[in-house]
Amino acid sequence: MRMSLIITLSRGVGARAAGAPPSYAPGMTDLDAVQARMAAVYGERDAARGVPATVAWLAEEVGELAKAARKGTRAERLHELGDVLAWLASLANQLDCSLAEAFARYDDGCPRCAATPCACPDRTPGADP
């Protein structure tokens, strides 16, 4: 079961039906592959740039993603999602942290209520109490 989920995800997001959420199983290591790819492509440059500049680039890319999410095309959204993930992976590499290890806090569901789906009250401003 778990292996089939991993294979499905490894084929890429385009393999799933439009609108369907990606499948997830605890312990998946796709994020390790993302970090390894970024380390191979940009590792030396990242180390020379340093953490503060990388954080600034990540923040700038998040701003561009926010704009694309609001009024961009699908292609623009994919571009910015990729850039944010790339900069996040670069930052994690420089901090000697594993994104997969960081995300493990969601392995048992919502970190706050431990339910899947989350059973916490909606804290979005303007949401019903």
Could you list the residues that contact Zn ion (CB under 5 A)?
110, 112-113, 118, 120
Longest CA–CA span in the chain (Å) reads 49
Distance from C-alpha of 105 to C-alpha of 48, rounded to nearest angstrom: 31
Instruction: Indicate the residue among 69 and 120 with the shorter CB distance to Zn ion.
Output: 120
Instruction: Indicate the residue among 62 and 110 with the shorter CB distance to Zn ion.
Output: 110
Instruction: Indicate the residue among 48 and 127 with the shorter CB distance to Zn ion.
Output: 127
Q: Which residues contact 85 (CB under 8 A, 6 or more apart)?
A: 34
Do the Cβ atoms of 83 and 61 come closer than 8 Å? Answer: yes
